[in-house]
Structure 1
């Protein structure tokens, strides 16, 4: 009888131990982090992914992704959901391309950019994160809270399990509800993921998230230095937030908004070099920078900007453009 009871207890204990899913640790930030945002990569093509693998950039931030009212996750490049009812329903070739990114590649870290509404768009991503993170709330068709059965947890879980994502990046430009984003950091921790922040304004909001978050989970800030953040000075953010995490400036290239000219803070490679050099003087500890975004590099080349507007740069191929940007960023870090 005692032997039978011991066996039952052992089986029960084993079940409890092994029924919990464990996840591989997320990739840490590279010592010198060169990031590039990747709009236009869903489902993408093999040629573009090969370019990224050999680009010399080491962090790819796949963008942009939106949560809808029914709990589905959409890519900004698709009119169909990629996650539905907590399961991957997206393009299989995209999964193959993304999961192959780190093989024989300069890419060592993959982040998912969660983007929200702007310019009067209807509610999405961060509206719903705010409305769903509290388990005491009832939302039809949604499992609220941040537990393992919750809608929010399962969106993040699929990104981890299916795409092998190391982090999700928060680009909130409208809702600014810090408790819900702090809760998202707790989901990241459960999944052995990181969470990064992508501000363009709002010291108090982003600072409150940093103060309430584990520095080993929320491990970086990507500061937008274009469009609404075109006047951002990195020294001001360092002084205001005093973060333990690194702050990386994000630059927008010429070719953005379908123009070779400077628009909303877009810059040539030479202009990026000048601004980054100034940031380095103001923030000697700077250890990385990022480029917004791969689709704009392609646009620059397709429009023939090197010929049409020589002051915008001289790259006549995407590979050349990537190489110039990599060398420029590395030279000033």
Structure 2
């Protein structure tokens, strides 16, 4: 197997759920000073009628932002100097959700034009969150045609890229990659839970682009499960050598918050990834 050539690096992403909506400015300030370069809002759920929820909170309906009035302004501070954050992604889907099935059905019913509910709602989401990219966390539907159509729709409204977070079904992601080309500028490979056996070098070769692998931070009872920042750095350094990874990610802020302690803060995890992947 040929080794992927390393590229300019030192980038780090973090997924964050409920605290990024409910913890006010405090969560934003932690992330701004953390060293993470990308914040991924997890997760946007698409209802059968096209309404968008951020986890359990309705945030967009009928082309209008209807969520917490203070959230858009707080999200804008993520990129206000001094900050390490230069990119925000809105992640769509999760295990056990029917978001991509609903997207497929809505495209079949209404298409992807400016008058469709998907277009109007995802434009409202972009305007509210300032997200640069859509992050595809499809773990059930795997329909390449509707996924590509959806990605091109979001590109037309100003999202600059469409990223993926695979853990299995490489043939599906190859088809999406082929259909989107350079629009798909990042692939966040899950190397934990169901994807714990994944090899970044193998996935990079199959996708034709270097992947950004992710690891699960300390979590679970007594925070005994998952990887410490030291373990993250060790594994990322190895993947930098074997697969030329340009960056990596941490899953996820909610667990870092639960297991917060000296040596395993958000900044500690960001530093581990940045130092391991910096050219």
Residue in 2 aligned with 1:129?
103
Paired residue for 2:73, among 83, 92, 96?
96
Matches within 5 A, 1:173-192: 173-192=139-158
SS of the residue 1:291 aligns to:
strand
Paired residue for 2:15, among 37, 41, 44?
37
Counterpart CA distance in 2 for 1:117 and 1:275 is 25
Gaps of 5+ in 2: 1-7
Q: Which has the higher contact order (CA 8 A, sep 6+)?
A: 2
Per-residue deviation at 1:116?
Answer: 3.7
Is this contact kept in 2: 1:258–1:299, CA < 8 A?
no
Q: Aligned-pair RMSD on alpha carbons? A: 1.7
Counterpart CA distance in 2 for 1:66 and 1:31 is 31
Per-residue deviation at 1:33?
Answer: 1.9
Residue in 2 aligned with 1:4?
none
Paired residue for 1:171, among 137, 144, 152?
137
Per-residue deviation at 1:330?
Answer: 2.0
Is this contact kept in 2: 1:101–1:107, CA < 8 A?
yes
Paired residue for 1:224, among 181, 187, 190?
190
Per-residue deviation at 1:173?
Answer: 0.4
Per-residue deviation at 1:239?
Answer: 2.1
Matches within 5 A, 1:219-298: 219-243=185-209, 246-255=210-219, 257-262=220-225, 266-284=226-244, 286-298=245-257
Residue in 1 aligned with 2:270?
326
Distance change >3 Å, CA 326–CA 116, structure 1 → 2:
closer
Per-residue deviation at 1:236?
Answer: 1.2
Counterpart CA distance in 1 for 2:221 and 2:255 is 8
Per-residue deviation at 1:188?
Answer: 2.1
Is this contact kept in 1: 2:11–2:274, CA < 8 A?
no
Per-residue deviation at 1:249?
Answer: 0.6
Extract structure 1 runs of 4+ deviating beyond 6 A. none
Per-residue deviation at 1:88?
Answer: 0.5
Q: Which has more radius of gyration?
A: 1
Per-residue deviation at 1:331?
Answer: 2.0
SS of the residue 1:51 aligns to:
helix
TM (norm. structure 2) is: 0.90
